[in-house]
A and B are shown apart, each in its own frame.
Chain A
Amino acid sequence: MNKKDLLLEIGLEEMPARFVTNSMNQLSDKVCSWLTEMKISFEEIIAYSSPRRLAVLVKGVSTAQEDINEEAKGPAKKIALTEDGQWSKAAIGFSRGQGASVEDIFFKEINGVEYAHVNKFIKGQETAVLLPELQQIITSLTFPKNMKWADQDLRFVRPIKWLMALFGNEVIPFAITNVQTSNWTRGHRFLGEEIELNHPADYEKSLLAQYVITNPQVRKDAIRSQLEKIEEENGWVIPVDEDLLEEVNNLVEYPTALYGQFEEEFLDLPEEVLITSMKEHQRYFPVKSNDGKLLPYFVTVRNGGHENLEKVAKGNEKVLRARLADAAFFYKEDQKTDINVSLAKLKSIVYHEEIGTLAEKVDRVRELVNKLSDELSFSEEDKAVADRAAEISKFDLVTHMVYEFPELQGFMGEKYALQKGEKEAVALAVNEHYMPRNAEDKTPSGITGAVLAIAEKMDTIVSSFAIGIIPSGSQDPYALRRQATGIIQTLLAKNWNIKLENLIALALDAVQNAKIGKKTKEELLQELISFFKLRIKYLLQEKAVRYDLIDAVLGGEIGSVPSLVKRAEVLESNKNAEGFKESIEALSRVINISSKAEEKGEVDSSLFENEFEKALFNKYLSVNEELGKEVSEEAAFTLLISMKPEIDQYFEHTMVMADNQAIRTNRLNQMALLAELIMQFANMNEIIVK
């Protein structure tokens, strides 16, 4: 079989660095599955990428599809043959349709019925004829963000500048937008030239000569070893942030690492400020000494060679100096400002037109923090810390540094608070109250930070709901979902058994006292509870709890979040246990029949007609007493299902819906009492038992 190499390169205006690797893999996966689907064999597939190109080289591609030998199934024998044993019209038509004649027909039994068959042979097509379909592979690539350009209709990651498509030494002809394929590619934007390629296998080598390292791994290794060399030569440590390295790698076609310096006086700035300035804004690698101290140097990776490195370094130093000078100015100005002055400014900052000022928000949060500190029985000292932290929690929002670097909110608050003589715990809480800052972030480490984080987030959520800002679909501009999840995670991390309904209600009271929004308390409470239930549902789904078990624990009130989660976990871990099905059925039966009870009433044991009623009632009393003590969720579950024998016996011998009304009511009252106990654990009725 003949083989040739296949090369496809999409030349682009600079792609966003963060898309390059995924797009490259996507192209190579798509080419690979297309070849497989088309039954075109190949030996090896190699993917390449740089900011300006996505490419794939496939080695040893067969010049033709595989031939196909298959049996084609036709009509049943009794239809294929006429009564006198001649070929019917149906048989003749079938064989002709398969490009054969009736002589080729043979019979084969399928499920006891004989059918006419012919052997069908499909000659594989020439690969070269099929390859223009690569056009659709390219246009079917998807990117997180697409654009249009000029008057083209195609949406793509960036404008396509050239297309190189070679099979052996032949150009595969197709066009996308106004770009036609050819065997030409372009080298480095400034160092290289346009070149013609006649052999796909020369791709990597030929472009290297034009100052493009097309293999991203080779390029990354080159950067890494250049960084190591700089480390060695200067006795530095350059901590390599892999995300930054990946980004930098996709910003250059021909990397050369170089370093520059900045004035030592800038080292007086908080390390995070320096690192944010270097990494986030300039994509520089910060430099440290052997003992982990930040040094007044930075490393940048240039897209080019070793020429004029000093000039490039000088330019970069100038940029960083300007950024750091800005930061230093802000830092100095901020230090001059007293916390009380900043707090006074919060009074004139409208948090939201319908919600009020930031100062008012802070007041509500502080009140809530104090109530929660009481409920959680904090020590007097912790109470004082939480109160002060709440009071100053937002002062850094009016500092220059946070205005300039919003990502440093809280962090600067901690720094400045310490400098201004606040207690360490207070400063820490100011910082941590923003946690978790994103889906990957941790919850606050300290209890005061945690209580403040919960109160602040709850106030944001409740006040937003009050004025009708409710997340729906992809609309959640204030990230209320993330904040609700943050509250839940924090309650879990601290194992705080506050009733979530109470927490919501406390925040709601404050919001309503401030006359925010027009909705009634009842209406809001219901909306908020369903909102939180949905967040808990997602959390339990992530923990891989079965959906019906989730519905069961969320079937009643939320109560304590840690307990709810543990109850779900108990059900999940017991769901395959022996007797689980039967126990749940028994408990469900109680819940079911209890729904017929009209109103809650006392159980009168004098109305019992049989011993089983009495036995169940006694069992109930003892289980209820046990559950009243502090028992684990696992133990609670065991207690509940221990009632199974009594419940079964009861139903076997007792007709709840008795004709005598007094007896019937008494029995329903007993069922209701029992159901209430069970529902505190979960609505067992939601559990699917087969």
Chain B
Amino acid sequence: MNIQNMILTLQKHWSGHGCILMQAYDVEKGAGTMSPYTFLRAIGPEPWNVAYVEPSRRPADGRYGENPNRLYQHHQFQVIMKPSPDNIQDLYLDSLKALGINPLEHDIRFVEDNWENPSLGCAGLGWEVWLDGMEITQFTYFQQVGGLECKPVSVEITYGIERLASYIQDKEDVFDLEWTDGFTVRDIFLQPEFEHSKYTFETSDPEMLFNLFNIYEKEAHRQMDEGLVHPAYDYVLKCSHTFNLLDARGAISVTERTGYIARCRNLARKVAKTFYEEREKLGFPILKAKEEGTHE
């Protein structure tokens, strides 16, 4: 099964279980969780079921397109369901079957993995799902988002698309993966992988990046003061990506990281709190719509 068909299969599966199919969010981010469709919508009492593909940038993982397993940018298939359905593990395993993975022929395990994204004040408990020893999915019950306790709790399922594809297509090299007929990952992504790696490790300007971080941070605070959650959050994402670039460049030490992460976290907390308040002012419209729907 090529990647395009995998994505179509997962979209069909999860839309069949009530998920809104969204498109990727257009600001750089390190993980699907950071999309406002997850980060913001996991906050508050409103139900929320979505699935989307998220291109995720991990500057430190850039390998000039030379490493068969690592990418500057990979793809995540992200599912968020709030409140977490009781049969969520079964729904997930059914999605693997839809991808042609028969659990009886493999070793599938749920191995503890407590996920934490300190720069966003997020924490959750759950597992990495192992397929014959390979981590193919991150499965998390959010406990805290932006420093706020989750009630109800969302479940987040994140499939590593390339990982899973390398298994399904039995390929050793990520660049050999077939995206669709006649197109491999190499055809589409090799050049950007090389260029972004070179940029990240060699030609980026740490001084400019430190400046950008400060500018973005300031702007995020300024927009928050205006009560504009979404523009403010875009700048939080930019801070986070800029931090990742600096980190990959080796411009930030282990100890200093803590300080930068705290700055991102403070922003994220503020955004989360403001978002909650704004939804509350609106009377949590999605919750209201759902309750009215069921009462009729």
Contact = CB atoms under 8 A, between A and B. Distances in A.
Contact of A178 (B86, B109, B125, B152): B86
Contact of A150 (B85, B89, B253, B254): B85
Contact of A315 (B70, B167, B254): B167
A357 B141 CA distance: 39
B109 A251 contact: yes
B67 A251 contact: no
A326 B67 contact: yes
A352 B85 contact: no
B172 interface: yes
Interface stretch (B15-23, B99-107, B222-230, B276-284): B99-107
A662 interface: no
Interface in B164-204: 166-167, 172
Contacts of A150: 83-86, 152-153
B131 interface: yes
Given A148-B153, A319-B134, A302 B107 contact: yes
A689 B51 CA distance: 73
B75 to A, nearest CB: 18
Nearest to A394: B253
A398 interface: yes
A325 B62 CA distance: 15
Interface string B38-72: 00000000000000000000001001000111100
A318 B172 contact: yes
A337 to B, nearest CB: 12
Given A150-B86, A151-B153, A351 B256 contact: yes
Contacts of A145: 114, 125
B218 interface: no
A358 B254 CA distance: 10
B84 A349 contact: no
B25 interface: no
Interface in B233-279: 250-256, 258-259
B104 A307 contact: yes
A632 interface: no
Given A151-B83, A151-B153, A315-B131, A14 B110 contact: yes
B198 to A, nearest CB: 15
Nearest to A320: B133
A600 interface: no
Contacts of A349: 250-253
A342 to B, nearest CB: 10
Interface in A317-365: 318-322, 325-326, 329, 345, 348-353, 355, 357-358
B125 A311 contact: no
A319 B132 contact: yes
Contact of B106 (A158, A284, A308, A350): A308
B65 to A, nearest CB: 13
A315 B132 contact: yes
B58 to A, nearest CB: 13
A167 to B, nearest CB: 27
B170 to A, nearest CB: 8
B256 A300 contact: no
Interface string A394-410: 00011000010000000
B249 to A, nearest CB: 9
B69 A325 contact: yes
A17 interface: yes
A483 B144 CA distance: 31
Contacts of B256: 350-353
Most buried by B among A284, A345, A350: A350
Interface in A152-181: 158-159, 161, 178
B111 interface: yes
A476 to B, nearest CB: 13
Contacts of A38: none
Contacts of A478: 255
Contacts of B107: 300, 302-304, 312, 315-316
A690 B110 CA distance: 61
A315 B101 CA distance: 12
A351 B133 CA distance: 36
Interface string A441-484: 00000000000000000000000000000000000011000000
A149 B124 CA distance: 10
Contacts of B205: none
Interface string B95-129: 00000000111111111101000000000010100
Interface residues of B, number: 48
Contacts of A16: 112
Contacts of B151: 148, 151
B255 A351 contact: yes
B141 A316 contact: no
Most buried by A among B60, B63, B127, B255: B255
B143 interface: yes
B69 A322 contact: yes
Contact of A190 (B83, B103, B127): B103
Contacts of B63: 329
Q: SS class of chain B's interface: helix, strand, loop or mixed?
A: mixed
A191 interface: yes
Most buried by A among B104, B112, B151, B172: B112
A311 B258 contact: no
Contacts of B220: none
B145 interface: no
A304 B132 CA distance: 11
Nearest to B206: A348
A138 B53 CA distance: 40
Nearest to B259: A353
Contacts of A319: 132-134
A494 interface: no
Contacts of A189: 103, 108
A39 interface: no
A161 B110 CA distance: 15
A178 B114 CA distance: 25
B252 A13 contact: no
A321 B173 CA distance: 11
B150 interface: yes
Contacts of A51: 110
A358 B253 contact: yes
Interface in B72-87: 83-86
Contacts of A358: 253
Contacts of B111: 14, 17, 251, 283
A325 B68 contact: yes
Contacts of A14: 109-112, 127
A51 B112 CA distance: 10
Nearest to B210: A350
Interface in A530-581: none
Given A145-B114, A151-B83, A311 B132 contact: yes
A18 interface: yes
Most buried by A among B60, B67, B125, B252: B125
Contacts of B69: 322, 325-326
Contacts of A308: 104-106
A502 to B, nearest CB: 26
Contacts of B112: 14-18
Contacts of A655: none
Contacts of A307: 104-105
A282 interface: yes
A312 B134 CA distance: 11
A269 interface: no
A398 B250 CA distance: 8
Given A190-B108, A307-B105, 5 more contacts: A147-B143, A304-B107, A316-B107, A319-B132, A357-B253
Interface of A: 13-18, 51, 145, 147-151, 158-159, 161, 178, 189-191, 251-252, 282-284, 300, 302-304, 307-308, 311-312, 314-316, 318-322, 325-326, 329, 345, 348-353, 355, 357-358, 397-398, 403, 477-478
Going nearest first, the 5 A-B pairs with the smallest beta carbon separation are A315-B132, A16-B112, A151-B152, A14-B110, A316-B133
6 contacts: A15-B112, A16-B112, A252-B109, A316-B134, A319-B132, A348-B251
